[in-house]
Each structure stands twice: as structure tokens, then as C-alpha cells.
């Protein structure tokens, strides 16, 4: 993974006195050693520390580095920045929205894995050519939400309230068990879960929190909670210092090495990701993998077959919680941006058709053929491997999962045809 070195750091004044902000400033050594710690630096008189020519005075605070700017209106940052500039600007701010958002994959006509998103950051300093964040974000900056402790208290309240919710919607959905199903919560939708973790230390807040609340909820027959940290990196040092308690799944998006090299710029290599997964297993974490996006190219069969063989050499398939498969999908806006930013890339110019959710995908026959091949190769390694398709319609599911020799013993995890089960959507 390429290092993240911001050219500018914007800090909303409200979050100056937070652990996340202190972690970031400490990592970059941006506070003078002669100045008080961040939680003590707000004073009536101006603090001055002579640390060379790069001293920065921000009201009553003096920083060692003039890259820092304290702000009151974070919503104005990044509105006019380019994608490239945004990846070099770090914005530390307060998050004011809902603590859970349903995964945007849950569109009408699409199968849904009932995945919920916990907001901790937006954007990614790595640069995958197909990344939807290139067009999706309304401002260009590396955003880190620093009021994590406050958000986690809201999460606690929501999950505890859910524990006492009515079971009626579950019965309507065909689920008769008294215990509520586990809630799967992830942080890897609008940012890589671990890319900046060595800087922010956010995993040190999330893992213990979800470990403890999962234990309490299961003890009250309230259904558990699963935290999924999704990444394309090997940035796991913080994780290795903690006891996960069985409630955290660390998952990796995987692609053949030629796709990583040519189209996933700045990410960790396939080998680095797999070696990180093995280390997490040894530390007690559960692990998962996402073959997403699956890219159609001249030697795709050889590429994905070799990738699965490489996995088998590094990882015991019996210890993999789940594997998801999802084909490359693009919006019209993303195709336009890709053609401008990656002029030599073939990805945006491939033959695609518009799907039910408005996204462009490979033609149906190609997608089914690719899924069936890769699904079969996985089942050769473990015939009861939990598998599911991401952002696909029911017809594709039926074609893939009912094919001869592709029916595995394990049910697909989490996947619920009826979109947005009421007790979970209520989150």
C-alpha cells in the first residue's frame, strides 16, 4: 500500500478534543512537544512554540506544521477540488447523520445481503480505476469522522432497542426462530476500513466495542452483531494488538495479480493481502473474501484460477467465513470519469448492458459463465464454502446456484430475497 502523506490537514474545531484527532496529530508529529496535548490546548492566551520556520498559529493554538488549518465549516472543504487533489487533503470532522445506512446494493430487483454501513470515513487515497467513489462523493477530500465515541454510544442504544423489538416482521419474512438474526455492520463501503488505521487508530475503538456488545446481546437472546472490516491492504498492526472475541470479521477484496498491478493502483499486492489474512486468523479474527469486482479480460480464467490456487496455498479454506462474488459494474457517470482519468485502461470501454438497477454490467451470459466457473473452482477447495453473489438479480442467482455440481452444502450467508427486513431496516 502506498503511504498517505497529506499536503493539507483541515480540522473542524468541534473535534479537536477527540482521541481520533489526537492520534492523527501524534502520528504526523504536528503538535509541538512544548505545547500541551490536544485536549488541553484551548486557552485564552496564545501558545507559542518555536519549532523552526513551519510554525503555524491558529487562533490560540500553535502547531509545528503549517499544513494544518482549523475550520468551522467542514462542508465547504473539497467542493471545488479535483479527485487527485482530494486524495492529498485530510479533513477531520464531526459526523452528524444516522449511525447506520443500508448498503446501496439493496436496490429494487437485486438480491440483498442485508449489510449495514457504519460511517467512520469517506474516500480513499488508493486509486482503483473502477472505484465508484470517483463520482459518488459530493466533495473531494480524505474525510475522517472523529466523534467515533459519540457514534458508538448511539450504535449501542440502537442495537439494544432492536433486542426488544417486535418479532412480527421476522415471522412475515419467514424467519421463525425466537432469536433475532445477527446484524452485519461494515465500514468498508465509502472508505477502505484499514487504509488509514495506523494513523487514526479507529480500529482500536471499534473492535473492543463490538466484541463487548456482541457478547451482551447474545447473552440476552437478542441476536449478535458482526463487525466487518473490509480492505485492500495489509495494514493490520493495530488489529494484531487486540483480542477480537469472535465478533470481528476482517475481509479482503481480491483480484488476480495482473488486475491488482494494472488497475488497483497503490493497493497491497495479492500476496500481501493473503499473508495479512493468515496473520489475522492466527490472532483469532474471522476472515472473509470478496472477489469483487470480477473483471472480464483475455486470460481471466487463468487469472482467477491461479488466484484461488494462491489462496489455497496461504489460507485454510475451512476457516473462511464467506466469499462473495460480484462482477464489474459501472454507472454512466463513472464510465465517463474513467475514460478521462484512465485513458489507456480498457475497463470503461468493454461491452456492457444496462441492468435493472441502472448500472452497466457484462452481458448476462458472460456473467453467468464467469460466476459458474469461479464458484466451481472454490467448491473444489471446500464443498460447503459459504458463497453469495453481490448486487445481482434473482435470475442470475438461480442460474448460478442451481447449476449441476454447483450446489454446495452451506447456505449462502445473510442473503435475503425480500429486501430490507423490517427490524434491521429500522436501524
In this predicted model, what pLDDT tens digit does every residue of 364-384 receive, in sequence order? Answer: 999 999 999 999 999 999 999
Look over the chain and give the mean of its residue pLDDT values, rounded to a whole number: 85
Most confidently predicted of 173-187, 213-227, 287-301, 383-397? 287-301
Per-residue cell: 210: 463490538
CB of 153 within 8 A of CB of 133? Answer: no
Measure the CA–CA gap between 416 and 89, rounded to whole angstroms.
39
The model's confidence at residue 35, banded by pLDDT at 50, 70 and 90, is very low
Check residue 118 and give its pLDDT. 94
Measure the CA–CA gap between 350 and 335, rounded to whole angstroms.
10
The model's confidence at residue 161, banded by pLDDT at 50, 70 and 90, is confident
User: Which carries the bigger pLDDT value, residue 150 or residue 179?
Assistant: 150
Measure the CA–CA gap between 155 and 161, rounded to whole angstroms.
10
User: Which carries the bigger pLDDT value, residue 3 or residue 420?
Assistant: 3
Peptide bond into 293 cis (omega under 30): yes
* Residue partners of 421: CB distance under 8 A and separation at least 6: 114, 169, 170, 173, 175, 181
User: Which carries the bigger pLDDT value, residue 36 or residue 20?
Assistant: 20
DSSP E strand stretches across 14-124? 56-58, 61-63, 68-71, 89-93, 101-102, 115-117, 121-122
Residue 109 reports pLDDT greater than 60: yes
Pairing label, strands 115-117, 101-102: antiparallel
The model's confidence at residue 159, banded by pLDDT at 50, 70 and 90, is confident
* Residue partners of 331: CB distance under 8 A and separation at least 6: 132, 135, 358, 359, 360
Check residue 162 and give its pLDDT. 76
Least-confidence region, from 7-16, 20-29, 201-210, 212-221 = 212-221
Per-residue cell: 365: 451470459
The model's confidence at residue 93, banded by pLDDT at 50, 70 and 90, is very high
Check residue 60 and give its pLDDT. 53
Measure the CA–CA gap between 230 and 352, rounded to whole angstroms.
27
Q: Span 203-220, mean pLDDT?
A: 90
Residue 54 reports pLDDT greater than 70: no
CATH 3.20.20.60 correct for 101-425: no
Give percent of the chain with pLDDT exceeding 70: 79
The model's confidence at residue 268, banded by pLDDT at 50, 70 and 90, is very high
CB atoms inside a 10 Å sphere around CB 359: 18
The reported pTM is: 0.87
Least-confidence region, from 41-50, 53-62, 336-345 = 41-50
Measure the CA–CA gap between 55 and 197, rounded to whole angstroms.
27
Check residue 320 and give its pLDDT. 97
Closest-CA residue to 248 (of 199, 190, 288): 288
Residue 167 reports pLDDT greater than 70: no
For the chain, residues classed under CATH 3.80.30.30 are 101-425
Residue 408 reports pLDDT greater than 70: no
Instruction: Specify which residues 92 forms β-bridges with.
Output: 11, 144
Residue 73 reports pLDDT greater than 70: yes
What single DSSP character describes residue 138?
S
Q: Span 276-291, mean pLDDT?
A: 98
The model's confidence at residue 62, banded by pLDDT at 50, 70 and 90, is low
Measure the CA–CA gap between 368 and 356, rounded to whole angstroms.
16
Check residue 6 and give its pLDDT. 94
Residue 108 reports pLDDT greater than 60: yes
Amino acid at each position: 500500500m502506498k503511504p498517505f502523506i497529506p499536503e493539507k490537514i483541515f480540522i473542524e474545531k468541534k473535534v479537536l478534543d477527540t482521541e481520533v484527532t489526537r492520534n492523527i496529530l501524534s502520528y504526523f508529529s504536528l503538535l509541538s512537544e512544548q505545547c500541551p496535548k490536544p485536549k488541553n490546548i484551548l486557552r485564552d492566551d496564545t501558545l507559542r512554540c518555536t519549532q523552526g520556520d513551519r510554525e503555524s498559529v491558529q487562533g490560540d493554538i500553535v502547531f509545528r506544521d503549517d499544513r494544518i488549518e482549523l475550520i468551522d465549516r467542514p462542508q465547504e472543504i473539497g467542493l471545488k477540488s479535483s479527485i487527485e487533489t482530494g486524495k492529498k487533503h485530510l479533513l477531520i470532522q464531526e459526523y452528524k447523520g444516522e449511525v447506520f445506512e443500508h448498503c446501496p446494493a439493496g436496490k429494487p430487483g437485486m438480491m440483498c445481503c442485508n449489510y449495514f454501513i457504519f460511517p467512520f470515513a469517506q474516500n480513499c487515497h488508493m486509486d482503483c480505476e473502477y472505484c465508484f467513489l470517483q463520482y459518488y462523493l459530493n466533495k473531494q477530500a480524505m474525510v475522517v469522522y472523529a466523534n467515533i465515541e459519540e457514534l458508538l454510544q448511539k450504535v449501542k442504544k440502537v442495537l439494544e432497542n432492536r433486542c426488544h423489538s417486535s418479532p412480527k416482521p421476522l415471522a412475515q419474512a419467514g424467519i421463525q426462530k425466537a432469536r433475532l438474526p445477527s446484524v452485519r455492520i461494515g465500514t468498508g463501503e465509502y472508505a477502505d476500513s484499514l487504509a488509514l488505521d495506523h494513523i487514526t487508530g479507529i480500529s482500536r475503538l471499534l473492535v473492543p466495542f463490538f466484541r463487548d456488545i456482541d457478547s451482551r446481546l447474545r447473552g440476552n437472546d437478542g441476536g449478535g452483531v458482526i463487525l466487518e472490516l473490509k480492505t485492500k491492504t495489509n495494514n493490520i498492526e493495530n488489529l494484531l494488538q487486540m483480542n477480537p472475541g469472535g465478533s470481528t470479521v476482517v475481509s479482503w477484496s481480491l483480484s488476480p495479480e495482473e488486475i491488482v498491478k494494472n488497475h488497483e493502483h497503490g493497493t497491497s499486492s495479492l500476496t500481501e493481502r493473503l499473508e495479512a489474512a493468515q496473520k489475522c486468523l492466527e490472532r483469532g479474527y474471522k476472515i472473509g473474501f470478496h472477489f469483487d469486482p470480477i473483471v472480464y479480460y483475455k486470460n481471466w480464467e487463468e487469472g482467477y484460477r491461479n488466484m484461488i490456487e494462491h489462496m489455497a496455498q496461504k489460507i485454510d479454506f475451512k476457516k473462511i467465513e464467506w466469499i462473495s462474488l460480484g462482477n464489474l459494474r459501472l454507472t454512466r457517470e463513472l464510465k465517463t470519469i474513467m475514460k478521462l482519468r484512465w485513458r489507456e485502461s480498457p475497463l470503461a470501454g468493454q461491452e456492457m448492458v444496462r441492468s435493472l438497477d441502472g448500472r452497466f454490467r457484462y452481458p448476462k451470459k458472460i456473467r453467468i459463465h464467469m460466476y459458474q466457473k469461479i464458484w466451481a473452482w472454490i467448491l473444489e477447495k471446500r464443498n460447503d464454502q459459504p458463497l453469495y453473489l453481490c448486487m445481482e438479480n434473482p435470475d442470475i442467482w438461480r442460474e448460478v446456484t442451481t447449476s449441476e455440481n454447483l450446489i454446495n452444502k452451506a447456505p449462502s450467508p445473510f442473503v435475503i430475497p425480500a429486501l430490507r427486513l423490517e427490524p434491521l431496516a429500522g436501524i
